[in-house]
């Protein structure tokens, strides 16, 4: 059980805190007055006007904020709402220490001292400080939230009246406000912000304006009407242009926005299924400096490949050899997406031929068997099956040289899905048909026992 051990002492009924590197011991009020626990000076913060605030709610909403260690229960490591102090001077959340006692323990969890008195004393001073501290932070957060919401509304009104560089600056600030404050997203939605900024996208829109607009839209929950509006050819065409020519941030935002617009629905727009889009996505995926870009690009490529009409186009721009070359450098999440794309592309004749003709397909894919996940192994086997079935004599030999047989035996002997084992057995048989048995055993480095 993890234990946090704040140094606390009681003397004369006053809670004492060991704070600061100099070992100075202060009472709670002094700590607040001096700003050590986040106070603003002047002693304990008055809660006269904040008595209706719910401490539990404040703790939940301020979850990501760093809390003074003296407010933390050593048992749960969560802020205390009802602190009680034991005879040893250690303080805990009431429910946690009572649960400790219910297990039959008669010791202090932090010091492991035997308790000579099992009384738990409410620590009202600490409770008041906890409530005051959270009230102050909560009210400050609410004020900041109201301020940014008001600023978002002002910016939306300003955008109706201005053009040129002033418009770009207003859009930039609105993008920062929306990205940095969750509460402003609803404000923008409720005040017609989506329609307002979406209408700024068009054939004559500059990339400077377009990148800011897309940076705003990608952070909002768009309804059906908004998505239909953004799927207009002129707007999609602008997004595709910026995907090919914009900054890395703009490229990622364009990719994510297009994915938001087409995910889960049929699309026939020539712009969405254009070669230019696929080319832009491949460029994004090949930029190894930006993992987020790789993941975003592969995610949208996967959606495009789910539509049969797009597969031949994606193959035609050389996607298969480029993705195969990337396989060894991808993280697990991106790797599964890339294998899924290659497996889907292998279902069209041009895709299986491209996989066969790529010299790195077999060695790179064989290495992934039983290495990442069962899902990746399944996808890798499907790719290898498509390649070896297309040209058994040529590909089986290459696969065996790359160590495929040993990997397939490992799959067969593992606790994998039966379908996976069956596919492995079929692929192993396909490879063995192109060798004399003794040569095959030698190539696979199999023992007589395995034979």
Q: What would the DSSP string read from start to end of 146-157?
A: HHHHHHHHHHHH
225-284 pLDDT, tens per residue? 999 899 898 999 999 999 999 899 999 999 999 999 987 655 554 556 678 899 999 999
Residue 422 has pLDDT above 80, yes or no: yes
Lowest mean pLDDT among 96-105, 174-183, 413-422: 413-422
- Look at 447 and 311; give whichever has higher pLDDT: 311
Query: Could you tell me what percent of the chain has a pLDDT over 70?
Result: 81
| Distance between CA atoms of residues 403 and 355, nearest Å | 18
> pLDDT grade, residue 8 (50/70/90)?
very low
Q: Tell which wins on pLDDT, 173 or 15.
A: 173
Encoded tokens for 344: 């889907």
Whether the CA torsion 135, 137, 139, 141 is positive or negative: it is: negative
Burial level of 236, CB count in 10 A (0-12/13-18/19+)? Answer: buried
Q: Is the pLDDT of residue 285 over 90?
A: yes
Sequence-distant (6+) residues with CB within 8 A of 439 are: none
Instruction: Determine contact, residues 36/22, Cβ cutoff 8 Å.
Output: no
Residue 5's pLDDT is what? 41
Higher pLDDT, 219 or 404: 219
Q: Which of 13-27, 114-128, 246-260, 386-400 has the lowest mean pLDDT?
A: 13-27
pLDDT-wise least confident of 5-19, 265-279, 285-299, 327-341: 5-19
pLDDT single digits (tens) 55-102: 888 787 777 678 888 999 999 999 999 999 999 999 999 999 999 999
pLDDT tens digit sequence for 314-364: 999 999 999 999 999 999 999 999 999 999 999 999 999 999 999 999 999
Give the pLDDT band of residue 50 (cuts 50, 70, 90).
very low
The chain-wide mean pLDDT, for the chain, equals 81
Predicted pLDDT at 404: 83
Name the superfamily (CATH) of residues 59-122.
Zinc/RING finger domain, C3HC4 (zinc finger) (3.30.40.10)
Of the candidates 267, 180, 261, 263, the residue with the CA atom closest to the CA atom of residue 216: 180
Average pLDDT over residues 190-209: 92
| Residue 90 φ/ψ region, left for φ over 0, alpha for ψ in the -120 to 50 degree band, beta for the rest | beta
Contact 255, 240 (CB under 8 A): no
- Judging by beta carbons within 10 Å of its beta carbon (0-12, 13-18, 19+), is residue 197 exposed, middle or buried? buried
Residue 182's SS3 state is helix
Q: What share of the chain is helix, strand, coil (3-state, %, to 5)?
A: 60, 5, 35
Domain boundaries in the chain? 59-122
Q: What is the pLDDT of residue 443?
A: 53
Query: Which of 174, 337, 103 is CA-nearest to residue 345?
Result: 337
Nearest C-alpha neighbor of 71 from the set 29, 130, 152, 154: 130
pLDDT band for position 371 (cuts 50, 70, 90) = confident
Has residue 416 got a pLDDT over 80?
no
What residues have CB less than 8 Å from 280, skipping those under 6 apart? Answer: 240, 243, 244, 251
What are 16's strand-pairing partners?
9, 27
Q: Predicted confidence band at 167 (pLDDT cuts at 50, 70, 90)?
A: very high
Sequential DSSP letters for 43-73 = SSPP-TT-TTS-HHHHHHHTTTS---GGGB-
pLDDT of residue 425: 84
Q: Give the model's pLDDT for residue 67.
A: 86
Distance CA 212, CA 7 (A): 50
**Rounded to the nearest 5°, which phi and psi values hold at 26?**
-125, 155
pLDDT interval class at 23 (50, 70, 90) = very low
Whether 168 has a pLDDT exceeding 70, the answer reads: yes
Predicted TM-score of the model (pTM)? 0.66
Structural tokens at position 326: 């990337």
φ and ψ at 99, to 5 degrees?
-65, -40
Using CB atoms within 10 Å of the CB of residue 35, give its burial: 0 to 12 exposed, 13 to 18 middle, 19+ buried. exposed
Q: Report d(CA 379, CA 365) in Å as an integer.
A: 9
């Amino acid at each position: 059980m993890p234990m946090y051990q704040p140094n606390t002492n009681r003397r004369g009924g006053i809670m004492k805190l060991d704070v600061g590197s100099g070992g100075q011991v202060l009472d709670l009020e002094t700590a607040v007055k001096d700003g050590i626990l986040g106070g603003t000076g002047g002693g304990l913060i008055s809660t006269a006007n904040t008595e209706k605030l719910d401490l539990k709610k404040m703790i939940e909403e301020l979850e990501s904020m760093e809390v003074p260690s003296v407010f933390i229960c050593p048992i749960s490591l969560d802020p205390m709402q009802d602190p009680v102090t034991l005879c040893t001077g250690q303080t805990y959340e009431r429910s946690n220490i009572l649960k400790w006692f219910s297990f039959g323990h008669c010791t202090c969890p932090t010091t492991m001292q035997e308790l000579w008195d099992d009384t738990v004393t409410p620590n009202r001073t600490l409770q008041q400080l906890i409530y005051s501290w959270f009230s102050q932070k909560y009210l400050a957060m609410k004020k900041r939230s109201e301020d940014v919401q008001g600023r978002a509304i002002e910016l939306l009104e300003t955008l109706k009246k201005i053009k040129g560089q002033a418009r770009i600056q207003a859009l930039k600030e609105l993008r920062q406000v929306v990205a940095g404050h969750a509460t402003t997203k609803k404000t923008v939605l409720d005040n017609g912000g989506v329609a307002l900024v979406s209408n700024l996208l068009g054939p004559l829109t500059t990339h400077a304006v377009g990148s800011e607009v897309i940076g705003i839209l990608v952070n909002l929950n768009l309804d059906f009407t908004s998505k239909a509006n953004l799927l207009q050819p002129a707007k999609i065409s602008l997004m595709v242009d910026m995907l090919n020519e914009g900054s890395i941030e703009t490229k990622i935002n364009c990719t994510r926005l297009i994915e938001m617009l087409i995910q889960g629905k049929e699309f026939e727009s020539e712009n969405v299924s254009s070669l230019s889009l696929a080319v832009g996505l491949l460029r994004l995926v090949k930029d190894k400096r930006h993992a987020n870009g790789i993941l975003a690009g592969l995610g949208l490529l996967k959606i495009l490949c789910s539509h049969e009409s797009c597969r031949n186009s994606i193959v035609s721009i050389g996607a298969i050899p480029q993705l195969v070359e990337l396989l060894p450098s991808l993280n697990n999440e991106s790797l599964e997406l890339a294998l899924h794309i290659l497996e889907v592309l292998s279902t069209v004749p041009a895709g299986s031929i491209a996989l066969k003709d790529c010299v790195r397909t077999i060695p790179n894919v064989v290495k992934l068997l039983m290495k990442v996940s069962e899902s990746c192994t399944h996808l890798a086997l499907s790719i290898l099956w498509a390649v070896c079935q297309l040209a058994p004599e040529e590909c089986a030999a290459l696969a065996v040289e790359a160590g495929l047989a040993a990997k397939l035996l490992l799959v067969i002997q593992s606790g994998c899905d039966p379908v996976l084992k069956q596919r492995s057995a079929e692929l192993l048989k396909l490879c063995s048909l192109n060798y004399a048995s003794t040569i095959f055993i030698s190539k696979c480095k199999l023992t007589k026992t395995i034979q």
